[in-house]
């Protein structure tokens, strides 16, 4: 499903935890391990990265051993960058290596408790064009056995949909993923002129979800359906907590898909403010990863 994965690392304990989870992702065979090296002085006009490059390569080699122990092929890349956005280097390496999934922690160095999404992760989410898995450290730091948690990341998946074409693509992609034992199909009724109108929309949405549920169960996935009422992003985040899911998997876009917007507002808010790992499937790419 995701044969070649890019994992950006800053050697923080958060990125180290991501490495321990990669082997549990369905279909992963090759990992591109990337560290982007910038000058110690961000205002420097001239910079010799030699010493830092040597140090980065040594750390990459150590982290590669962890991945190779999981049976993965590893490519190590230490990339100096005098100026510019780290996101752009991540994007260019993704293109060069034929990556179909980027896996990264929501936070890294400079972790601040009240910042929900680090700047690099935020830019990869907003401007990247590869499928993206954002790992959430609040769960990983909760005292649970990390190896057990990582091996179960696809055990119970919340699948939000608004029945748009991008959402349908994502749903079909998720249905074909290996390792999913249980799914919760979820949609949100976000408007209604009266309670009767909301009830009618809820009934219609439930019928649509039940039709999708039948397909999931034919694929051997235990499936439940659920309809929320209110703000889509808030309801998705709340449902993920209430259902205690291991992963939220959703399309980057929904209804009102505007092609020049690389991430829709609902997917962005769920990724930014949620507490569970989020798999963002890029619209028009959901059926193309191999």
Averaged confidence pLDDT in the chain: 84
Please report, for the domain that includes residue 233, its CATH number: 3.40.50.620
Element (H, E) at 151: helix 146-151
pLDDT, tens digit (0-9, with 9 covering 90-100), for 150-177: 657 888 999 999 999 999 999 999 999 8
The reply to whether 263 falls in a domain is yes
Residues 9 and 130 in one domain: yes
Q: Is the pLDDT of residue 255 over 90?
A: no
The reply to whether 74 falls in a domain is yes
Residues 12 and 134 in one domain: yes
**First-to-last CA distance in the chain?**
5
Q: Tally the domains of the chain.
A: 2
Residues 84 and 8 in one domain: yes
Residues 259 and 187 in one domain: yes
Residues 103 and 213 in one domain: no
Confidence of residue 184 (pLDDT cuts 50, 70, 90): very high
Residue predicted with more confidence, 47 or 276:
276
| The pLDDT value given to residue 229 | 95
pLDDT, tens digit (0-9, with 9 covering 90-100), for 122-135: 888 888 899 999 98
pLDDT, tens digit (0-9, with 9 covering 90-100), for 49-104: 778 889 999 999 999 998 999 899 999 999 988 666 888 999 999 999 999 999 98
Query: Do residues 128 and 93 make contact, with C-beta atoms less than 8 angstroms apart?
Result: no
| The pLDDT value given to residue 82 | 66
| The pLDDT value given to residue 236 | 97
Whole-number Cα distances in Å, 17 to 122, 198, 201, 251: 19, 43, 42, 25
Residues 123 and 158 in one domain: no
| The pLDDT value given to residue 287 | 45
- The share of the chain scoring above pLDDT 90, in percent, equals 51
Q: Which residues span the domain enclosing 197?
A: 154-281
For 80, list phi and psi in degrees, rounded to 5.
Answer: -70, 145
Q: Is the pLDDT of residue 16 over 90?
A: no
Residues 161 and 213 in one domain: yes
The reply to whether 290 falls in a domain is no
| The pLDDT value given to residue 107 | 61
Of 140, 172, 188, which closes a domain?
140
Residues 120 and 186 in one domain: no
Residues β-bridged to residue 78: 35
Residue predicted with more confidence, 65 or 39:
65
Whole-number Cα distances in Å, 277 to 32, 76, 104, 150: 20, 25, 10, 11
| The pLDDT value given to residue 167 | 94
| The pLDDT value given to residue 138 | 46
The reply to whether 288 falls in a domain is no
Residue predicted with more confidence, 51 or 181:
181
The reply to whether 146 falls in a domain is no
| Of the ranges 93-102, 111-120, 143-152, the best mean pLDDT one | 93-102
Query: Do residues 221 and 180 make contact, with C-beta atoms less than 8 angstroms apart?
Result: yes
């Amino acid at each position: 499903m995701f044969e070649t994965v890019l994992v950006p690392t800053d050697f923080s304990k958060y990125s180290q935890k991501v490495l321990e989870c990669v082997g549990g992702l369905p279909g992963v065979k090759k990992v591109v391990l990337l560290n982007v090296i910038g000058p110690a002085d961000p205002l420097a006009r001239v910079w010799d990265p030699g010493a830092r490059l040597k140090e980065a390569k040594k750390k990459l080699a150590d982290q590669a051993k962890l991945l190779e122990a999981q049976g993965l092929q590893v490519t190590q890349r230490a990339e100096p960058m005098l100026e510019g956005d780290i996101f752009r280097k991540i994007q260019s390496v993704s293109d060069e290596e034929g990556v179909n999934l980027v896996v990264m922690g929501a936070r890294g160095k400079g972790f601040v408790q009240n910042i929900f999404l680090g700047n690099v992760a935020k830019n990869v989410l907003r401007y990247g064009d590869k499928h993206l898995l954002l790992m959430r450290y609040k769960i990983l730091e909760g005292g649970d056995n990390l190896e057990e948690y990582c091996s179960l990341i696809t055990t119970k998946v919340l699948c939000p949909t608004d029945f748009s074409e991008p959402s349908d693509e994502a749903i079909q992609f998720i249905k074909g993923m290996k390792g999913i034992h249980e799914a919760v199909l979820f949609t949100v009724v976000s408007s209604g002129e009266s309670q009767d109108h909301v009830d009618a929309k809820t009934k219609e949405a439930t019928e649509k979800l039940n039709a999708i549920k039948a397909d999931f169960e034919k694929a051997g996935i235990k499936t439940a359906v659920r309809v929320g009422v209110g703000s889509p992003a808030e309801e998705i985040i709340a449902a993920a907590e209430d259902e205690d899911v291991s992963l939220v998997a959703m399309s980057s876009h929904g209804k009102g898909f505007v092609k020049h917007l690389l991430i829709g507002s609902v997917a962005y808010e769920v990724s930014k403010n949620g507490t569970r790992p989020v798999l963002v499937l890029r619209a028009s790419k959901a059926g193309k990863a191999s």
